[in-house]
Amino acid sequence: MNFQHTEEQELLIDTARRFVEEELYPHEQEVEATAQVTEDLRRQVIQKSLEIGLYAANMPEELGGGGLDPLTMCMLDRELGRANYALQYTVARPSNILQACVGEQRDKYLFPCIRGEKTDCLAMTEPGAGSDVRSMSCKAEKDRGDFIINGTKHFISHADVSDFVILFAATGVDNSPRGPRKRITAFLVDSGTPGYTIRPGYESVSHRGYHNCILEFDNCRVPDNQVLGEVDTGFEVANDWLGNTRLQVASICLGRCDRAFELACEYAASRTQFNQTIGKFQGVSFKLADMELKRRAAELITYQAGSRANNNQMSDMDAALAKLASTEALAFIADEAVQIYGGMGLMSDLPLERIWRDARVERIWEGTSEVQRLIISRSILRPLENQ
Ligand SMILES: Cc1cc2nc3c(=O)[nH]c(=O)nc-3n(C[C@H](O)[C@H](O)[C@H](O)COP(=O)(O)OP(=O)(O)OC[C@H]3O[C@@H](n4cnc5c(N)ncnc54)[C@H](O)[C@@H]3O)c2cc1C
């Protein structure tokens, strides 16, 4: 498989790198110190990324987006991933799942998101339903032409700056041979809808300035034209559109691997102890070799998944392998980079301690590393069990 950049990809990578260095890096310290991206800064970043065509790059051109294919999106996300998460997310993209919008939903949700006028968030997880998300208790009950929603979601990223939530709620139960199985429906619910409250979430070690929230639904009435996709097919809609989210996580992690690795190499080649640069000690240089091995392996696995996604051939296992490889490579590389810097590695004067803290969440969200291993091992074993 050839992952040589095309001319267009080179141009995009250069543009994104310049954007990250000129528009995002200068604000990193402030965001880390205040744990906030001010509304002014958020608007400014969105505006600049719209001007140079980086915003909504994942959305098809005919809908007004950048029309990048999945592999090229991996390359863009990798560049954006070098920056503080709260800042890079601001440029990131509307959720792919919004392409399931139909009729008036497109004017109300999809197009404003592509134009940078509205922001979505997505809510599945609950205090009692994490990896086993189908066990969710949040429910939506039919009441004439509406649904009445009751329940609580937690860990919902950036709901505090979102105009609406793509909410997953149970709309019934089927009896399956393995016991009761909930039917799930996706809804579009506007912030400010009576009965829908957004509360601040928990303080997190990762991603300062990027907040998780608790969403409470108390007899929240939503008309049935706010259903995304068909009733009872929420997970099918999610499966159709959200596979690339794991690729996005993998690619962002590659960008962080790059930045941590580059910093570690510079330091190993310049820091002197015992009258020689520390990179001359095998204890340090072999760390660099192992870091590069993991970085390249993660890059190849992620780009291979991206390339298969370009041909509509990316399997669940491909996406799981990419997420697992990149998030675990980042954990290793960030930790070893801190080690190479010694005490300075832990000081907030450098971006390394942040990359190290931020790396932790990547093995948890979008499906934990254990869940990725479950997907991969099932994909390996299932065909053999059916023989
Ligand atoms: C900062 C942050 C932001 C988030 N943003 C969002 C968001 O925007 N929207 C959203 O819906 N969710 C979001 N999440 C939720 C995230 O996807 C969940 O945290 C994740 O799916 C794990 O669920 P859990 O934390 O409840 O852990 P649990 O599912 O309770 O898992 C606990 C441990 O058990 C292990 N485990 C569970 N089941 C198995 C199994 N079958 N086999 C082996 N091991 C298993 C897990 O791997 C883990 O180690 C966010 C989470 C965080 C931390």
Rounded to the nearest 10 degrees, the angle between the axes of helix 282-310 and helix 70-80 is 140
Distance of CA 286 from the midpoint of ligand 1 (Å): 34
Query: Would you state the pLDDT for residue 321?
Result: 98
The one catalytic residue in 353, 366, 370, 385 is 366
Confidence band for 242, pLDDT divided at 50, 70 and 90: confident
**Over 80: is that where the pLDDT of 248 sits?**
yes
Residues linked to residue 221 through DSSP beta bridges, in sequence order: 148
157 lines ligand 1 (CB under 6 A): yes
Note if 366 is an active site residue. yes
For the residues 212-239, what does the mean pLDDT come to?
Answer: 96
Distance of CA 280 from the midpoint of ligand 1 (Å): 42
Query: Would you state the pLDDT for residue 137?
Result: 97
Given phi > 0 = left and psi -120 to 50 = alpha, else beta, which region is 28? Answer: alpha
Spatial distance between the Cα atoms of 355 and 335, rounded to a whole number of angstroms: 9
Confidence band for 244, pLDDT divided at 50, 70 and 90: confident
For the residues 255-275, what does the mean pLDDT come to?
Answer: 98
The structural domains of the chain, with segments of one domain joined by +, span 7-114, 120-228, 241-385
Q: What percent of the chain has pLDDT over 70?
A: 100
117-158 pLDDT, tens digit per residue, is: 999 999 999 999 999 999 999 999 999 989 999 999 999 999
The secondary structure of the chain, three-state, reads CCCCCCHHHHHHHHHHHHHHHHHHHHHHHHHHHHCCCCHHHHHHHHHHHHHCCCCCCCCCHHHCCCCCCHHHHHHHHHHHCCCCHHHHHHHCCCCHHHHHCCCHHHHHHHHHHHCCCCCEEEECCECCECCCHHHCCCEEEEECCEEEEEEEEEEEECHHHCCEEEEEEEEEEEEECCEEEEEEEEEEEECCCCCEEEEECCCCCCCCCCCEEEEEEEEEEEEHHHEECCCCCHHHHHHHHHHHHHHHHHHHHHHHHHHHHHHHHHHHHHCEECCEEHHHCHHHHHHHHHHHHHHHHHHHHHHHHHHHHHCCCCCHHHHHHHHHHHHHHHHHHHHHHHHHHHHHHHCCCCCHHHHHHHHHHHCCCCCCHHHHHHHHHHHHHHHHHCC
Q: Are 120 and 109 in contact (CB under 8 A)?
A: yes
165-217 pLDDT, tens digit per residue, is: 999 999 999 998 888 999 999 999 999 999 999 999 999 999 999 999 999 99
**pTM (two decimals):** 0.96
Ligand 1, atom 41: nearest CA belongs to which residue?
Answer: 371
> Could you tell me which of 304, 155, 309 has the C-alpha nearest to residue 243?
309
Who contacts 215 (Cβ-Cβ below 8 Å, separation ≥6)?
Answer: 123, 152, 153, 154, 156, 159, 165, 167, 196, 197, 198, 199
212 lines ligand 1 (CB under 6 A): yes
Spatial distance between the Cα atoms of 380 and 314, rounded to a whole number of angstroms: 15
19-58 pLDDT, tens digit per residue, is: 999 999 999 999 999 999 999 999 999 999 999 999 999 9
Atom of ligand 1 nearest to the CA of 129: 26
Query: Would you state the pLDDT for residue 385?
Result: 87
Query: Mean pLDDT, the chain, as a whole number?
Result: 96
Query: Would you state the pLDDT for residue 92?
Result: 73
**Has domain 241-385 been given CATH number 3.40.50.300?**
no
Distance of CA 365 from the midpoint of ligand 1 (Å): 6
Residues linked to residue 222 through DSSP beta bridges, in sequence order: 147
Distance of CA 242 from the midpoint of ligand 1 (Å): 16
CATH number at 7-114: 1.10.540.10
**Over 80: is that where the pLDDT of 280 sits?**
yes
Q: Are 100 and 240 in contact (CB under 8 A)?
A: yes
374 lines ligand 1 (CB under 6 A): yes
376 lines ligand 1 (CB under 6 A): no
Ligand 1, atom 4: nearest CA belongs to which residue?
Answer: 155
CATH number at 120-228: 2.40.110.10
